[in-house]
Amino acid sequence: MAKPPTRAPARPAKPPRLRWDKKPARKPRPDAAPSKGALERKDGEERIAKLLARAGVASRREIERMIADGRITLNGEKVETPATLLKSLHGVAVDGKAVGQPAPTQLYLFHKPEGCLTAERDFSGRKTIYDVLPKDLPRLMPIGRLDLNTEGLLLLTNDGEFKRQMELPSTGIERTYRARCFGDVTQEQLEELIHGIEIDGVRYGQIDANLERRTGRNGWIEMTLTEGKNREVRRVLEHLGLEVSRLIRTRYGPFILGDMAPGTVGEVRRVDLIAFRKTLN
């Protein structure tokens, strides 16, 4: 099996600033009424769903499902709405177990191997990332997903709010992939992707694509995008008539895969994480 060309990874001393599309802030209408079910917020109060996500219990969406299922209680009473306002998680329990206060945000780089799911469990018995990850890690959630046959850089965090921020399309964080393909394509065709493309009614935003090298009808293509829609890279390349035999994510924002071996994990230094989060504000 052909291997991708090795390149010395750049290791900046400080994460670079990211680019994103700035959208004008939407001004509220002066005659707009408060949203239905809105609660009056006092100083220091946050929605319970946001506090639990920050504490690493689960993503905000999953927490909303847990509340609907009656799994979350406050002082022994079931929480009825994710909009419940609290100053802390004191008295909050999930499945009868008290929830601790949020730990400092942590971020890990993980080289996801091919052939495992980005999921907590799979009812058909397929291997997941949690079967590969070291058992001594804290409870971590993946930021975004890589499908079963895609390998490479997967970010993991203990902070559900940070996870949500990183995944939002409006944040505009760049992801870079390298794909080994079979078929015929020109650099000119790839450069047209910078304008975006529509496939089967789905609109994909701009993609910076370059043909790295070619041997016969086999080649490596590097693609950088910001949306990260489901199977976006594969669908775009297949639309161009190419067969993708290997797909590797090499970068997510300023964080790079480098020479990490499949299945290995590395923690981002707190100083670097703080510097990166400042670029998101």
Write the pLDDT tens digit of every residue in 70-105: 999 999 999 999 889 998 888 999 999 888 777 889
> What pLDDT is attached to residue 125?
86
Confidence of residue 3 (pLDDT cuts 50, 70, 90): low
Report domain 46-98's class. Answer: alpha beta
* Whether the Cβ atoms of residue 160 and residue 53 lie closer than 8 Å to each other: yes
Confidence of residue 31 (pLDDT cuts 50, 70, 90): very low
Lowest mean pLDDT among 16-30, 73-87, 118-132, 265-279: 16-30
Confidence of residue 34 (pLDDT cuts 50, 70, 90): very low
> What pLDDT is attached to residue 139?
85
Q: What is the mean pLDDT of residues 171-193?
A: 94
> What pLDDT is attached to residue 230?
84
* Whether the Cβ atoms of residue 234 and residue 181 lie closer than 8 Å to each other: no
At the topology level, CATH places domain 174-252 in Alpha-Beta Plaits (3.30.70)
pLDDT at 14 over 60: no
> What pLDDT is attached to residue 155?
97
Q: What is the mean pLDDT of residues 126-142?
A: 92
Domain ranges of the chain: 46-98, 107-170+255-279, 174-252
Q: Is 259 tagged catalytic? A: no
* Whether the Cβ atoms of residue 255 and residue 109 lie closer than 8 Å to each other: yes
> What pLDDT is attached to residue 45?
87
Q: Do domains 107-170+255-279 and 174-252 have the same CATH topology?
A: yes
* pTM for the structure as a whole: 0.71
6 Cβ contact list (under 8 Å, min separation 6): none
> What pLDDT is attached to residue 46?
87
* Whether the Cβ atoms of residue 160 and residue 64 lie closer than 8 Å to each other: no
Confidence of residue 32 (pLDDT cuts 50, 70, 90): very low
DSSP class of residue 26 equals: P
> What pLDDT is attached to residue 19?
42
Do β-strands 243-252 and 150-157 pair in parallel, antiparallel, or remain unpaired? parallel
> What pLDDT is attached to residue 174?
93
Report domain 107-170+255-279's class. Answer: alpha beta
pLDDT at 24 over 60: no
Confidence of residue 36 (pLDDT cuts 50, 70, 90): very low
The helix or strand, by DSSP H or E, that contains position 96, with its residue range, turns out to be: none
pLDDT at 117 over 50: yes
The residue from 69, 147, 184, 259 that is catalytic is 147
Q: What is the mean pLDDT of residues 39-48?
A: 71
- Between 10 and 151, whose confidence is greater? 151
> What pLDDT is attached to residue 42?
62
pLDDT at 16 over 80: no
Q: What is the mean pLDDT of residues 49-60?
A: 83
Lowest mean pLDDT among 68-72, 122-126, 147-151: 122-126
Where does residue 79 rank: exposed (0-12), middle (13-18), buried (19+ CB within 10 A)? buried
- pLDDT tens readout for residues 198-239: 999 999 999 999 999 888 889 999 999 998 788 899 999 999
- For 199-206, the CB contacts below 8 A with 24+ separation are 199/235, 199/236, 199/239, 202/229, 202/235, 204/229, 204/232, 204/235, 204/236
Please tell me the distance from the alpha carbon of residue 152 to that of residue 138, in angstroms, as a whole number: 21
pLDDT at 108 over 70: yes
